[in-house]
Structure 1
Amino acid sequence: MKRIIFGPGRWILAAATAALLVLSLATGAHAQKRSLIRDAEIEATIRDLATPLFQAAGVNPEAVSIYLINDDQLNAFVAGGQNLFLNTGLIMAMRSPLELIGVVAHETGHIAGGHLARTSDAIASASNAALLSAIVGIATAVATGRGDAGAAIAIGGQSAAVGSFLQYSRAQESAADQAALSYLDATQQSARGLARFFEELAAQELLSASRQSPYMSTHPFTRDRLNTVEAHVATSEYSDQEASPDQVARFNRVVAKLHGFIRSPSQTFRKYPETDTSLPAKLARAIAYREVPDYPKAIALTREMIAEDPNDPYLHELEGQLLFESGQIDAAVAPMEKAQRLAPEAGLIEVSLAQVLLARNDPASDQKAMDHLQTAKRTEGDWPFLWRQLATAQGRLGDIGQAALSLAEEAVRQSRWENAETQSKRAQSMLKAGTPAMLRALDIEELAKRERAAQRKK
């Protein structure tokens, strides 16, 4: 399901989500809105492609955070240690999962090599949400929710604002290339995808600096790098290894979803016409119908896909989102619950299910929602919207102290330090002394005071 973390636009599908706040921080009349796109299926696919590479590099996969930036330009980078950022434009321009695997292998080389591990004191001490804002050079945004099918965080600003702290040296680039080739061999995967991506960069060398991909400015490119990868392709025993059918199918769904979420419906219908009866094409059109909006058509097409594959959690999630957004709240519960049962580890789906349950506004559903949100904290604890939803459930169930603490947690993840201090003090007035909740409230108050003092000094 799609959700929007710091605010979506018309182009983002957000499953099981109530109100969406669009926070446009792009500069200039024609500046592109940049958002962090979140979608359970897209994230799971990229994670599954990346995990073998992380393991080959000796990097704990669970320690790496992967973020998708809604930006048409070709770019990918690592920042703040183990945070990998991929532009949607990069993924949508790729022709096969091998290219994405190759780029992720290269960026994994930067992670394993500790390149740019310490970008600034502010980033080093920030939460993930604050890190995102710092990287794009904007102030803290306001969190909102959209279901798991595609949350987005509005983080406007220009790609150039990433600035000097994303600059890799030529030596680091060469080291990351060599590391990527070793990871690909270790996982018995072809480096042809990386070679094709470098061919694209080589073609961009002929363009003026203003027209080149940001990747060129943050990752110094030389023909020697392309020659190195091509030489490896010529000798590696895995060069002819194709992507698996499952990798291809999942990659095609990712690209189709991104087109549906980001492009206008007319663009999506042109790329995926009615004559294309493949599942990715149907998926893209269903999302586009939601954007029209034409919910009856979107729901009918989604149910047609479910009939073809009844055990696909992401299709049930999409159905639940569409029903929810079209005002059919009670009808949305069953498909969302089925999606959660089929993908119990997907925290985004769990949050979306909780949002649907809270919309029913009855005590039994509120309790179920709180249980799901407590479980989702393991993977979604950095998402401010989770804490807002949790505060709603706790407040309705009469636990006002815990609700205040959850609002303080939300404020911390938005770097709204005055509000964090206020809510933590409010929580302390109602929580029992010596409990973990009270200790956390005290910690938040102290953190908020330090951050506010630091801001005053600036």
Structure 2
Amino acid sequence: MINRAIARRLLAGFSAAFLILAAMAPAVLAQSRPLSLIRDAEVESTIRAYADPLFKAAGLDPGGIRVLLVNEDSINAFVAGGMRLFINTGLLMRADTPNQVKGVIAHETGHIAGAHLSRIQEELKNATIEQIIGLVLGGAAAVASGDGGAMVAGATLGSEIAKRNLLKYSRTQESAADHAGMSYLDATKQSSRGMLEFFEKLEGQEFLLGQNQDPYLRTHPLTTDRIDTVRAHVDNSPLSDAKDPPEDLARHERMVGKLKGYIWPLSRVEQEYPASDQSIGARYARAIALFRVSRMQEALREMDSLLADVPNDPFFQEQKAQILFENGKLAEALPLYTAAYNQLPDEPLLGLELAHVEIELEQPELTKSAIRHLEGVTTIEPRNARAWEFLAIAYGRDDNLPMAALAQAEHAMAIGDSEEAWAWAKRALEGLEAGSPGWLKANDIIAEAQMIKENK
């Protein structure tokens, strides 16, 4: 049985809006150090707004591609595990325009569509990789506290795999990805100028020693011929002077301000965004940076000014709710989380955050509401480990112990612990009605866990 003391321990340390997770991505840059990943509803939504039209232009299903944000100051983006696109926060914060980010995404989409990673060894396609990606996406690794400082090491790959430079493309593949990316930008009526500007940012690093280069250059060989080809396309394309739409410019300003607010120290944020700067991005960055050093009242004043300018903005509501939540004002945070979720009910992180505060308030009617919200989250992200963890708590408080056990089984499967999943699924079967959806799912988990055991 999941009692309240256990529930408190499970809920401790969860930062609602901005999650920093530590895990090892497969053979990233042929290094074997932990890689911290960020999950944030607004930033993910922004990247999706940029990327999905390009994925569609490439004939890819956007729903089948996962975009992951790497908390790393260097400029980099790469594809791993087939349909997974990783983008460094350093790249996003250094991009001057949305079009530059789109140029990088278009290029990486060319690698995906061209199956340029198909030579990766079979071990990078098996369950181990699925478990690692599940850890990253589901939040199974420990989550940072509000200041984003504390991290724990997650899953790691063997040194033999890590030593292989599996993500390094050939010049032929790079050229093919350039051509494909430019065609996707053309198809979506966007300029390729951002791709050229991004290459020009990196061009001066070609003569630096390898360890001083941004990692993008170490996996994506940049040649004069490639730059000349993109420049020729820009010089001759009727779309080269196409501008980013105002809504994308606004998204970019907010995304950059938010990332800097969470990642940079307050002193650097205040230097970049002095009080005289009353732009939305500046106020957003200051609000978040002030929140991170527990200056709640100042942070709330900045958020209130933003909400006065952009009333009912779901991500501003979410951010203000987080400030209140992290400062123990749960009852005040609840209506803001609810308002944000009601506007974006298909955004899983908002559903997760709303359910979190509902569980923390420890009211029976809110527990039932949390169950509904978490069931929605797990429908969208079936391997979201934290959602299953919260569901186990909520079901336990609702005295539905068989479903609590099933949620524990799902959580264990999401973090790659098939033996634990098998044990919890067996326990769930003892109280589930034969033939019910939960009973069927428990049997599926048992069968999957047994298959994993036999294949080890």
- TM class by shorter chain equals 0.7 to 0.9
- Gaps of at least 5 residues in structure 1 are 1-6
One-letter code of the match for 2:50? L
CA contact (8 A) 1:80 1:131 kept: no
Distance (whole Å) between structure 2 residues aligned to residue 422 and residue 184 of structure 1 = 50
- Gaps of at least 5 residues in structure 2 are 1-9, 26-31
Q: Counterparts in 2 of 1:127-166, with a 5 A limit? A: 130-132=131-133, 142=141, 144=143, 161=162, 163-166=164-167
One-letter code of the match for 1:263? W
CA contact (8 A) 2:318 2:336 kept: yes
**TM-score normalised per structure 2:** 0.87
One-letter code of the match for 2:360? A
Q: Counterparts in 2 of 1:128-277, with a 5 A limit? A: 130-132=131-133, 142=141, 144=143, 161=162, 163-277=164-278
Structure 1 partner of 2:81: 80
**TM-score normalised per structure 1:** 0.87
Higher relative contact order (CA 8 A, sep 6+): 1
SS in 1 for 2:87: strand
Distance (whole Å) between structure 1 residues aligned to residue 24 and residue 242 of structure 2 = 44
Identical residues among aligned pairs (%): 41
C-alpha distance 125-400 of structure 1, shift in aligned 2 (>3 A): farther
C-alpha distance 266-452 of structure 1, shift in aligned 2 (>3 A): farther
CA contact (8 A) 2:421 2:449 kept: yes
SS in 2 for 1:204: coil
Distance (whole Å) between structure 1 residues aligned to residue 37 and residue 297 of structure 2 = 28
Distance (whole Å) between structure 2 residues aligned to residue 390 and residue 372 of structure 1 = 9
SS in 2 for 1:377: helix
CA contact (8 A) 1:68 1:88 kept: yes
How far does residue 22 in structure 1 lie from its aligned partner after superposition?
7.8
C-alpha distance 122-388 of structure 1, shift in aligned 2 (>3 A): farther
Aligned residue pairs, count: 434
1:313 aligns with 2:314: yes
CA contact (8 A) 2:291 2:323 kept: yes
Select between 242-251 and 162-171 the one with higher mean Cα deviation: 162-171
CA contact (8 A) 1:128 1:382 kept: no
Select between 163-172 and 335-344 the one with higher mean Cα deviation: 163-172
How far does residue 408 in structure 1 lie from its aligned partner after superposition?
1.1
CA contact (8 A) 1:41 1:314 kept: yes
Distance (whole Å) between structure 2 residues aligned to residue 425 and residue 89 of structure 1 = 45
CA contact (8 A) 1:15 1:146 kept: no
RMSD: 3.2
Structure 2 partner of 1:304: 305
One-letter code of the match for 1:96? T
Select between 218-227 and 38-47 the one with higher mean Cα deviation: 218-227
Structure 1 partner of 2:7: none
Structure 2 partner of 1:283: 284
C-alpha distance 21-40 of structure 1, shift in aligned 2 (>3 A): closer
CA deviation profile, 1:175-211 (whole Å, cap 9, x unmatched): 1110011111111111111001111232111100111
Structure 2 partner of 1:36: 37
SS in 2 for 1:37: strand
Distance (whole Å) between structure 2 residues aligned to residue 191 and residue 240 of structure 1 = 9
Structure 2 partner of 1:326: 327
CA contact (8 A) 2:21 2:144 kept: no
Select between 404-413 and 429-438 the one with higher mean Cα deviation: 429-438
Distance (whole Å) between structure 2 residues aligned to residue 445 and residue 101 of structure 1 = 43
C-alpha distance 236-21 of structure 1, shift in aligned 2 (>3 A): closer
Distance (whole Å) between structure 1 residues aligned to residue 303 and residue 175 of structure 2 = 46
SS in 2 for 1:345: coil
CA contact (8 A) 1:129 1:382 kept: no
